[in-house]
Structure 1
Amino acid sequence: MSASTDRWGIQQDWIDADDAPQRASDATVARLREVIGEPPADLEDRAPVVTRPGRSTGLRSTVSCEDGSTRELDDVVPDDFPLGYHRLADGRRLVVSPGRCHVPQEQSWGWTVQLYAARSRRSWGIGDLRDLRTLREWTERLGGGFLLVNPLHAVAPNLPQETSPYLPATRRFRNPVYLAVEDVPGVEPADLERHDAELATLRSAELVERDGAWALKRSVLRAVFDRSTPDPAFVAWREAAGQAVEGWATWCALAEEHGPDRLAWPEAVRREDAGGVAAYVREHGDDISFHVWLQWLLDVQLRAATGSSTVLQDLPIGVSGSGADAWAWDDVLAPGVAVGAPPDMLNSVGQDWGSPPLVPWRLRAADYEPFVESIRGTIAGAGGLRIDHVMGLFRLWWIPDGAGPQEGAYVRYPADDLLDIVALESHRAGAVVVGEDLGTVEPGVREALAERGILSYKVLWFEDEPATDWPAGALAAVTTHDLPTVAGLWTGSDAEDQLASTDMAESDVRSGREDLLARLRRDGLAEDAPVEDAVAEAYRQLGTAPSLLLSAALEDAVAEERRPNVPGTTERDNWRLPLGVPLDELTADPGHPGVVRLVEALRGG
């Protein structure tokens, strides 16, 4: 992490995933400098101070602590100084972190699940939070200790619904399409019976139909809300949740009236601090309350679904530039830029993820609040956090509008501060944190994660070393949502899928498949072995890893050939493929052969 940057934080020279030196173009650098702009001269005098007990700060000040107490700070932070978010006498934020995340003490295994795909016969064509509870209870019966689910963050409440879980409208609140409507207080049998035909259509659909599911759920939920009196528990929750949820709900109401792109709204409401927003809130109280109520229901149902188990929530690298978080923090985001990744082992032509990046100095000037709220909101009620593309806390690949993924450049972030904030939120929630560190990883990143107890990611498809040599401080997996399932790799259908849906060269796809097959066959798996043997072999290898968390893909348990997502394409049915077996059928069968064989292999049986 010692590579030089200019005063805008841009790293023009860098080393790619193949250890080859690369240089961003002068035109790209000039464009990014224009977007980033000059920080104010007094930024260092008002930016937050992030520290730990025992560290020197060079500060002497009275500190107003968040619990209402007052402490004196005389340079070194005392060991007994309260952890949290405080204020110095000059108004600056003081963040005191333990510097280390909550770390499990024993190894456990669990499932990686695309919740939308885990449909049961009773759910409304999309996996929901009752299905998550079923998965959790089933996993506990099997001896597993955690679940890792796709991002559950909310998108705009409009149709069509955004399909990618990694391009949400917010990283602070959850998607009501995951509500189990039958479990909502006030829902009556008649509310469901009148929709029998629509439900039958959703349940029989070949793909996950988010639009149909959300339209029907919203209709029923709004009718229940309109005829119900406020639940005292909801009233108390709303008061405790504060302005953040009110802002989210206001954005939802505005989106339903003006469309999902806040950049196309009337100027008077285009930003959360715009002059017309207060009047809109006064005139649309019921609509706003409805969207707050949905978030309360989600909080209640998620906590019931997770119980005392660990459910790792996935934090996307960014949000939609037209969404609610961008509406709230318009001044912190970089216009005319998207984040992505340069060409690497995941995609040979690079990736553009479509999210606008946070400008590093503006994030500091905002007291890191957009980051704090995103981490806290994602951890809430679940006990675990997976940070997608954790390298983005160190540097992000910025791509100017109109340029391809190969034409970007890296921009640096205040990683030490961001990582210590993650450690503070993990400590408070008792939540394990995993950093997805796949792709182009610069020297020093993994060491910085390990120092803070953030588990790294080890994936069988990418590792030359046998699993026995992997680190303990990691989540270990065979594959990810962006990579082939075992069955898809073994049969060759995944390579054909890639060729049909991306611009990747056939030679890259074929050679990539051979590399992965070599890892799967390294201990002698026969080339003509059936798919079931290939799955068992992959998880036998995984089971030898000393890593704290061993993650099994639910797709592999049912020998699904299609991966959830092929990066770099929008033509494929990404994020819409249901699990090949209804969830209730899978979890009701204690002897499901795919599950039994995978779990036995993972346990060394």
Structure 2
Amino acid sequence: MTTKPTTDGWGIDASWLDALDEEHQVAHETIEKLRAVIGEPPADLEERAPIVARPGDALEVDEADVVCEDGEVRHIDGELPPDFPLGYHWLQAPEGPRRRLIVSPGRCWLPEDRAWGWAVQLYATRSRESWGIGDLGDLRTLRQMAADQGAGFLLINPLHAVAPLATQEASPYLPATRRFRNPLYLRVDEVPGADTVDLEADAGRALSEGALIDRDAVWARKREVLMRIFFAHGGGEAFTRWREEQGRTLQEWATWAAITEEHGADWHTWPEELRRPDAPAVAAYAERHGAVVAFHAWLQWALELQLTAAAAGMTVIQDLPIGFAGGGADAWAWQEVLADGVSVGAPPDAFNSAGQDWGSPPLIPWRLRDADYEPFVQSIRATMAGAGGLRIDHVMGLFRLWWVPAGGSAADGAYVRYPAEDLLNIVALESHRAGALVVGEDLGTVEDGVREAMAEHGLLSYRLLWFEDDEPAAWPAEAMAAITTHDLPTVAGLWTEADVDEQREHGTGTEEELERGRRSLLAHLPGLSDDATVEQAVEQAHALLATAPSMLLSATLDDAVGEQRRPNMPGAGDRPNWSLPLPVPVEELPGHPLLQTVARTLAEGVRKG
């Protein structure tokens, strides 16, 4: 039996357990650095911090008036009535400051029926109409294909925006914001007003002829054409009304994007008077550059229209990255809540002996509470919006995050604790309001209690054939079941040894480590002869997956077309990660023999279950 490590008053764990339950002590120097970054919370924090509760819960205040979201004022006496409305309210006790009262159902919304679906790297899924990158028009086509096959969902990579610069960030997991979307995914000829300009579509479609996805070239082309459409059409009254409804949050994003085009992607390097979003100079900048600010707001309007149309009639599970770029829009907006000089990552494990540094600054737990959880609420709500599902990357980050001080290696970090119960209840509230299911990516080192808390709050676990020791038939019902992820080998890559060859080429492990890793994964494909074909290996893997009783069964398009290369190889910095197109155009996917077999196998598994 393992015991939880000692946690100090700053929320820092003094030790940590690895995947083999071996305990490691955190260096005193690391603890001191993190304490300095976290700082001391104000003495009155507990008196003004938000209260997160469920109807029927006892409260820490004897009596108070609550101004509900709809304006109704209710008096409470020590507890919330069982019929108290869900939502974000304000509580005022006879003595003390006004406090946010967040009332949650406690459990996420879940569908009644099981379903299977496709996991899609949308940027990679190009059609003959794409301009160099898979777009929301292609998502609509995929949704139609999936519906025809009897699928119930699509799981897509994060669509969040990056800095609108000539050099585009490739990783979907290091966005500038988790609240707004990337205009690279716009289908240009379907943007309102596109019929008013010469799109020069042939030049756009020619971008798909390259062997890799060239985001820089795609953005240069799309930006130029989109700007012409905007100035010719402007969106009219519909855009004006939508922009007004979005209010300050959208204006702040669009202003950041406009400043970025002039001063660069990292707000720390901007002129000092522009480094705070509420500064008078920022408002003056937005006034002077009103057309550019409006353009970036208009792009978000067009994205919302296209995503809504693409997802109509099917659950599209969107992906929430664990963090965002330290110089980006969210970091600019919430700089008072972020830890400076620290990034998040993961400690050493069986798949990465050096640990991982993901490059995103963490939110300081007590400052997040002091901000009424608003940064978290907005990120969850925006990513969940309009599509019916959410996947939370590294869901263990709701409980604790591995903080890596600047200048050290990822192995020199420590875990910092977060108010998990509050965060899970907020996820449940947003899920309930959106009618959206939630999957928590609980892979890797998962401490005791995490999966139990997820189950209590209705978050689906994430189970992989490559990772699980049990047969798929023994996996839990409240889970999404899959074979692999974007960071792990495809079935074809594993079976042909192409993935090990590529890892060897990029030096991501010793020969012994690579061979041991491959053998451990092959053990999950029993019964195949050494001379089995790729198609037979893929069919066998999905036949096993189909026996899982899990609520959701997910197959990657990469596996379904026999792709040998995984989308991302962690630690291979010289590899074109996130830039590998699917080898089969979208138009040809419905007729692909192996893909059809995978679809039939999973559909039959759901029916039998």
**TM-score range, shorter-chain basis?**
over 0.9
Aligned partners of 1:460 and 1:519 also within 8 Å = yes
Q: What CA distance in whole angstroms lies between the structure 2 residues aligned with 1:603 and 1:383?
A: 21
Matched, 1:75 2:78: yes
Q: Which amino acid aligns with 1:7?
A: G
Residue of structure 2 equivalent to 1:23:
25
Q: Which amino acid aligns with 1:11?
A: D
Residue of structure 2 equivalent to 1:597:
597
Q: What CA distance in whole angstroms lies between the structure 2 residues aligned with 1:518 and 1:202?
A: 41
Residue of structure 2 equivalent to 1:220:
225
What are the equivalent positions in structure 2 for 1:143-222 lying under 5 Å apart?
A: 143-188=150-195, 191-193=198-200, 196=202, 198-222=203-227
Matched, 1:11 2:18: no
Q: Which amino acid aligns with 1:598?
A: V
Q: Which moved more, 1:494-503 or 1:118-127?
A: 494-503
Q: Percent identity?
A: 61
Q: Which amino acid aligns with 1:287?
A: V
Q: Which amino acid aligns with 2:236?
A: D
Q: What CA distance in whole angstroms lies between the structure 2 residues aligned with 1:7 and 1:72?
A: 35
Q: What CA distance in whole angstroms lies between the structure 1 residues aligned with 2:138 and 2:553?
A: 22
Aligned partners of 1:357 and 1:398 also within 8 Å = yes
1:200 CA displacement:
4.6
Q: What CA distance in whole angstroms lies between the structure 1 residues aligned with 2:277 and 2:261?
A: 16
Residue of structure 2 equivalent to 1:547:
550
Q: What CA distance in whole angstroms lies between the structure 2 residues aligned with 1:502 and 1:350?
A: 15
Q: What CA distance in whole angstroms lies between the structure 1 residues aligned with 2:603 and 2:280?
A: 60
1:431 CA displacement:
0.2
Structure 1 ranges of 4+ moved more than 4 A: none
Aligned partners of 1:348 and 1:508 also within 8 Å = no
Matched, 1:37 2:44: no
Q: What CA distance in whole angstroms lies between the structure 1 residues aligned with 2:9 and 2:64?
A: 30
Calculate the TM-score normalised by the size of structure 1: 0.97
Could you say what the CA RMSD is over the residues aligned between the two structures, in angstroms? 1.3
1:190 CA displacement:
5.1
Residue of structure 2 equivalent to 1:531:
534
1:497 CA displacement:
1.3
1:242 CA displacement:
1.5
Aligned partners of 2:197 and 2:228 also within 8 Å = no
Q: What CA distance in whole angstroms lies between the structure 2 residues aligned with 1:437 and 1:36?
A: 26
1:516 to 1:282, Cα distance in 2 relative to 1, 3 A: same
Matched, 1:335 2:340: yes
Residue of structure 1 equivalent to 2:439:
434
Structure 2 gaps of 5+ residues are: none
Residue of structure 2 equivalent to 1:355:
360
Residue of structure 1 equivalent to 2:473:
468
1:44 to 1:203, Cα distance in 2 relative to 1, 3 A: same
SS at match of 1:86: strand
Q: Which amino acid aligns with 1:170?
A: T
Matched, 1:122 2:124: no
* Deviation per residue, 1:436-455 (Å, 9 max, x gap): 00011100000000001000
1:257 CA displacement:
1.1
What are the equivalent positions in structure 2 for 1:439-458 lying under 5 Å apart?
A: 439-458=444-463
Aligned partners of 2:129 and 2:205 also within 8 Å = no
1:348 CA displacement:
3.0
1:199 CA displacement:
2.3
Q: What CA distance in whole angstroms lies between the structure 1 residues aligned with 2:140 and 2:151?
A: 14
Q: Which amino acid aligns with 2:561?
A: V
1:229 CA displacement:
4.6
Q: Which amino acid aligns with 1:506?
A: E
Q: What CA distance in whole angstroms lies between the structure 2 residues aligned with 1:4 and 1:502?
A: 37
Q: Which moved more, 1:333-342 or 1:276-285?
A: 276-285
Aligned partners of 2:5 and 2:14 also within 8 Å = no
1:604 CA displacement:
4.7
What are the equivalent positions in structure 2 for 1:560-579 lying under 5 Å apart?
A: 560-579=563-582
1:137 to 126, 141, 144: 144
Matched, 1:243 2:248: yes
Aligned partners of 1:537 and 1:601 also within 8 Å = no
SS at match of 2:75: strand
1:362 CA displacement:
0.6
* Deviation per residue, 1:500-532 (Å, 9 max, x gap): 2244222111101100001112xx121221110
SS at match of 1:173: coil
Aligned partners of 1:544 and 1:604 also within 8 Å = no
1:175 CA displacement:
0.3
1:30 CA displacement:
1.0
Q: What CA distance in whole angstroms lies between the structure 1 residues aligned with 2:506 and 2:280?
A: 46
Residue of structure 2 equivalent to 1:403:
408
Q: What CA distance in whole angstroms lies between the structure 1 residues aligned with 2:578 and 2:446?
A: 26
Aligned partners of 2:235 and 2:298 also within 8 Å = no
1:601 CA displacement:
2.8
Residue of structure 1 equivalent to 2:298:
293
1:386 to 386, 391, 395: 391
SS at match of 2:65: strand
Q: Which moved more, 1:57-66 or 1:499-508?
A: 499-508
Calculate the TM-score normalised by the size of structure 2: 0.96
What are the equivalent positions in structure 2 for 1:451-530 lying under 5 Å apart?
A: 451-521=456-526, 524-530=527-533
1:12 CA displacement:
1.4
What are the equivalent positions in structure 2 for 1:50-61 lying under 5 Å apart?
A: 50-59=52-61, 60-61=63-64
Residue of structure 1 equivalent to 2:275:
270
SS at match of 2:439: strand
Q: What CA distance in whole angstroms lies between the structure 2 residues aligned with 1:303 and 1:203?
A: 25
Residue of structure 2 equivalent to 1:308:
313
Residue of structure 2 equivalent to 1:325:
330
SS at match of 2:524: helix
Q: What CA distance in whole angstroms lies between the structure 1 residues aligned with 2:234 and 2:503?
A: 52
Q: Which amino acid aligns with 2:69?
A: E
Q: Which amino acid aligns with 1:105?
A: E
Q: Which amino acid aligns with 1:44?
A: E
* Deviation per residue, 1:2-53 (Å, 9 max, x gap): 4320001000112111111111111111111111111111111111110000
Q: What CA distance in whole angstroms lies between the structure 1 residues aligned with 2:463 and 2:264?
A: 41
SS at match of 1:93: strand
Q: What CA distance in whole angstroms lies between the structure 2 residues aligned with 1:546 and 1:18?
A: 28
Aligned partners of 2:179 and 2:382 also within 8 Å = yes
1:593 to 1:288, Cα distance in 2 relative to 1, 3 A: same
SS at match of 2:255: helix
Aligned partners of 1:249 and 1:292 also within 8 Å = yes
Q: Tell me the matched-pair count.
A: 598
Q: Which amino acid aligns with 1:116?
A: Y
Matched, 1:254 2:256: no
Q: What CA distance in whole angstroms lies between the structure 1 residues aligned with 2:506 and 2:80?
A: 55
1:349 CA displacement:
2.4
1:603 CA displacement:
3.9
Q: What CA distance in whole angstroms lies between the structure 1 residues aligned with 2:419 and 2:401?
A: 11
1:489 CA displacement:
0.3
Q: Which amino acid aligns with 1:106?
A: D
What are the equivalent positions in structure 2 for 1:224-235 lying under 5 Å apart?
A: 224-235=229-240
